[in-house]
Amino acid sequence: MKRVLILLVVSIFSLSLLGQSSEEKAGLILTLVKRGGSMPALFTKYYKVKAWSAKQSMPIPKEYETWTLSNFQAAMDVSTKKPIDWGVNGDRFVVVNVVPDLNNRPNHVKDDMAGTNHSLTFTLELYEYDGRFVKTISKWGYLLGSGYQGVVYVQQGIYPTFLSSVVVEKGGSLTYQVYNPTETRLSNLVDESDLKRAFRDLKVDLPDNIPLQLSCTFPPKPVFDAAKTAVLDKMKQESPFLQAKFYQKGVYDAGKMDFPKPNQKWSFWNMFIASEIINRCPIDWGPNGDRYLQFDAEFEGNRNYSALEDDLYSTGKRFLFPLRLYESDGRFVKTVSSFGNFFGFGEGSFVFMQDAKNEIASLFTKLPVEIDKPFSYKVDRRTVTKISELLTFKPVL
């Protein structure tokens, strides 16, 4: 009887798929690709310092092959055959988008999951600093050499444009391991269970990721009590930890092996570009790549197990330490993480677990780090429970 019921459910699901039009499926697939989170390039802003024309060591790399991009120069605009116009202040940015491909362009994304004849291609769009759309630079294109360091977007088969996740310089070169040689399969962009659910419910039950990293700023909470304000100001004036500024070459996402132990090496199996937990996006370091992160101090509102006891200022309170992003001149940009736990203090380095979850372990260090490589350092203190242990810590600046 149980087997009969299973066969009946499978039959009903199959019939529901047959009843959908190809256009309905195509629409659901397009939405899934945009919301699935498998393609970081779809929701990342690339400023002038992160978009480059480059010479490739080979036309199309193989999976897990090492390839080199060299002679970085100003990124071109295929629609004008000139360098991209980054605006008067040089603070425009480009974003990769995904759209239906009605002409089966070279290296288009094929539907290898649902069996539709619809395919997808990638566009490159230009925006003003405040998010206003400027123009579509490339109406179609394909993605090559995807790795932790970035991806190459080929504008309409003409201009290879390296969209970098790491810091590179004009005329320089970069060698890294490729994890996806060319993005041509839907199965790399969409989870099978999400696809089945969308076809069954005729909708995509995934959050609509707000692109361009413009959402969720969470400014510092106002403090209307003069005594509390004085305590927070005193903390910031006296603490080397709260005064420290962390730039993109000193912040990474870390794949940790385990939790640290005092007087032992703490090992990480891989190092990634730094991201933020609120939008699940790479941290937006700004048009010039010179924004910085800094920790702030707040009185604990509701009970939060990440809060630290006050053993310095006799307030009888507990404190949280949010991580905020600032412009180079000190203007507030956004809150990256509202609170978190600190681990592994040693050699001027430490790990901050954003929002106290195990999803993003942010490593702060000035020790030499290579993206996509193992890393380790010696730990002095496993974790902290009191503010004195945190506020007196001196990161390597």
Summarised one tens digit per residue, pLDDT across range 348-363 is 999 999 988 877 899 9
Cβ neighbours of 265 (radius 10 Å): 12
Q: Judge whether residue 213 has pLDDT over 60.
A: no
Put residue 347 in one of left, alpha, beta given phi > 0 → left and psi -120 to 50 → alpha.
left
Query: Which residue, 172, 173, 213, 32, is CA-closest to 114?
Result: 32
Q: What pLDDT score was predicted for residue 20?
A: 63
Does 153 or 38 have the greater pLDDT score?
A: 153
Mean predicted confidence (pLDDT) in 32-47: 83
Summarised one tens digit per residue, pLDDT across range 220-276 is 767 778 899 999 999 999 999 999 999 999 999 998 878 899 999 999 988 999 988
Q: Judge whether residue 37 has pLDDT over 90.
A: no
Mean predicted confidence (pLDDT) in 21-28: 86
Q: Judge whether residue 281 has pLDDT over 90.
A: no
The two tokens of residue 118 are: 């619809």
Mean predicted confidence (pLDDT) in 198-205: 90
Q: Judge whether residue 302 has pLDDT over 90.
A: no
334 pairs with which residues across the strands? 325
Mean predicted confidence (pLDDT) in 178-191: 92
Q: What are phi and psi of 358, to 5 degrees?
A: -90, 10
Q: Which residues contact 10 (CB under 8 A, 6 or more apart)?
A: none
Q: What pLDDT score was predicted for residue 216?
A: 42
Q: What pLDDT score was predicted for residue 224?
A: 74
Q: Judge whether residue 6 has pLDDT over 60.
A: no
Q: Judge whether residue 278 has pLDDT over 80.
A: no
Q: Are 336 and 354 in contact (CB under 8 A)?
A: yes
Return the domain boundaries, the chain: 20-213, 226-391
CA distance 101 to 108: 7
Does 21 or 93 have the greater pLDDT score?
A: 93
The two tokens of residue 236 are: 């910031």
Q: Are 201 and 277 in contact (CB under 8 A)?
A: no
Q: What are phi and psi of 156, to 5 degrees?
A: 50, 35
Of the pLDDT bands very low, low, confident and very high (cuts 50, 70, 90), residue 16 is very low
Q: Judge whether residue 162 has pLDDT over 60.
A: yes
The number of helix segments (H) and strand segments (E) in the chain equals 6, 28
Q: What pLDDT score was predicted for residue 303?
A: 85
Compute the mean pLDDT over every residue in the chain, rounded to the nearest whole number: 88
Express as a percent the part of the chain with pLDDT over 70: 91
Does 177 or 43 have the greater pLDDT score?
A: 177
Q: What are phi and psi of 353, to 5 degrees?
A: -85, 105
CA-CA-CA-CA torsion for 34, 36, 38, 41, nearest 10 degrees? 30
Distance, C-alpha 136 to centroid of its chain: 23
Distances (CA, A) of 213 to 107, 280, 361: 28, 9, 20
Q: What pLDDT score was predicted for residue 4?
A: 43
CA distance 4 to 16: 19
Query: Which residue, 93, 164, 94, 87, is CA-closest to 123?
Result: 94
Mean predicted confidence (pLDDT) in 194-215: 75
119 pairs with which residues across the strands? 101, 110
Q: Are 216 and 278 in contact (CB under 8 A)?
A: yes
Q: Judge whether residue 328 has pLDDT over 60.
A: yes
Q: What pLDDT score was predicted for residue 397?
A: 59
Does 276 or 88 have the greater pLDDT score?
A: 88
**Of the spans 3-7, 19-23, 259-263, which averages the highest pLDDT?**
259-263
- Which pTM value belongs to this model? 0.84
Q: What pLDDT score was predicted for residue 47?
A: 93
Express as a percent the part of the chain with pLDDT over 90: 70
